[in-house]
Amino acid sequence: MPASESTGAADDAGREDDVGAGQEWGSTLYRVAADQFDRAGALLDLEPEFVTRLGHPRRSLVVNFPVRLDSGQVLGLTGYRVQHTLTMGPTKGGFRYGPDVSLGECAALAMWMTWKCALLGLPYGGAKGGVRCTPGELSVGELERVTRRYAAELIPVIGADRDIPAPDMGTGEREMAWFMDTYSQMVGHSVFEIVTGKPVALGGTTGRREATGLGVVYVTEAVCERIGLDLREARVAIQGFGNVGAVAAAELSAIGARVVAVSDTSGGIVDHDGLDIAAVARWVAVHGVLADYPHADHLGPAEVLEVPCDIVIPAALEQQITEHNADRLQCQLVVEAANGPTTPEGEVILRSRGILVVPDVLANAGGVTVSYFEWVQDHQRYSWDELDVRERLRRQLRAAFTRVTDAADRLDCDWRMAALSVAIERVAEAARVRGIYP
């Protein structure tokens, strides 16, 4: 297969301003990821060879495919899979469904997956994929057909030891089960280890569903110990009440922290004395969204970031803390549960105000770490119990945080640059000793 099978980002027309030659991955998010890589590379004095080898995705696949709707009409969809580096082993990363999914977005997220896996010491390169669609407008049957066709389209580039997808925004256990079944039908036998984040009945691991949110809490605990903040006394505001945000909220309130605000697409709710997160979760389970929750004050979905508190956890989507609102955050710590929630401009303002940022590649690495545990268990045909999963996750994340703080001291930089530096050094060293084929 050639280095890039991309058909270019012409499919993104209407979203990207300028998609000239060599700009295939152009998107705001990709520029953020590339800018971070450039800055960490400069800090490390990274040799130009490794800037060339790691600065762009190694392989991209863009597919257009038809799906028959329940009405009988045919919907044309575009799907992506981007593999950032093939140096570290198979690639790993989720696939998402959303109206803004693009090649550039997948490329940025794939690069972050590489750094996340390297920081955590997992034997993977980064990947990411997705289908541009609006899942809320599709029936269950239509979503199944989208997922099965997308899985079939990816056959040339995926495999249990080549590229292992997982859930991301808009996808979950259900989609992973369809994906696993489709792949297994095509190769003629059950291959549990082709995806992670599966139902336990199909070789999923206990603890995967909660892993990212739980990991956010384990990292936050370690950070609080370091900066002398008592997490059990802390007030926390969380943007996003999905797989990551709702679990983080539940775990935080279980250990005694006061979750004062949460939000979803329908809006935000706030109670300065602390929300009853179990009651909020029950409300969402029945009504689907936070809107009209009766026991709190209401505010806009982004305003939750500006509520006075100790810790803000963006756990919704990218580019939420920007030059337009960073000066209004009233906290001492931002823990990036979402991928890329802070723009470079927003981060400059946070830094100037002394607000610490725990970078996404560390804060939300619990998901891929437990995905790795799932993959290992699938290969071993042996299941670990939940306590085992949780303890290993906590140990692995705390060790990664120590690597980050050690690098921050050594390189005299913030935690994001430290985390990226540790990761880039690892991948560059592997690339160095592997050399270049031929």
- One-letter amino acid at 414 equals D
**Binding string, 289-308, against ligand NAD, x = CB under 6 A?**
------------xx------
Q: Is 158 exposed, middle or buried (0-12, 13-18, 19+ CB in 10 A)?
A: buried
Query: How many Å apart are CA 339 and CA 359, to the nearest integer?
Result: 9
Q: Which residues pair with 166 in a beta bridge?
A: 94
In the complex with ligand NAD, the residue whose CB is nearer, 41 or 245, is: 245
- We find the least distance from the C-beta atom of residue 274 to ligand NAD, in angstroms, to be 20
28 binds ligand NAD (CB under 6 A): no
Residues 177-216 close enough to bind ligand NAD by CB under 6 A: 212
Beta strand pairing status for 125-132 and 91-98?
parallel
How many chain residues bind ligand NAD (CB under 6 A)?
25
Examine residue 367 and tell whether it contacts ligand NAD (CB under 6 A). Answer: yes
Judged by CB under 6 A, which stretch of 1-9, 75-83, 236-244, 379-387 contacts ligand NAD? 236-244
> Looking at beta carbons only, is 221 or 264 nearer to ligand NAD?
264
Binders of ligand NAD in range 39-58 (CB under 6 A): none
Q: Considering only residues 143, 337, 361, 400, which one is a binding residue for ligand NAD as defined by CB under 6 A?
A: 337
Q: Is 128 a catalytic residue?
A: yes
114 binds ligand NAD (CB under 6 A): no
**Binding range to ligand NAD, per CB under 6 A, among 8-16, 59-67, 230-238, 331-339:** 331-339
Residue with the shortest CB distance to ligand NAD: 242
Based on the shown chain and the rule CB under 6 A, indicate whether residue 400 belongs to the binding site for ligand NAD: no
Segment contacting ligand NAD by CB under 6 A, of 10-18, 19-27, 259-267, 417-425: 259-267
Q: Tell me which residues are annotated as active site.
A: 128
Report the interface residues with ligand NAD, using CB under 6 A: 167-170, 212, 239-245, 263-265, 301-302, 315-317, 337-339, 364, 367
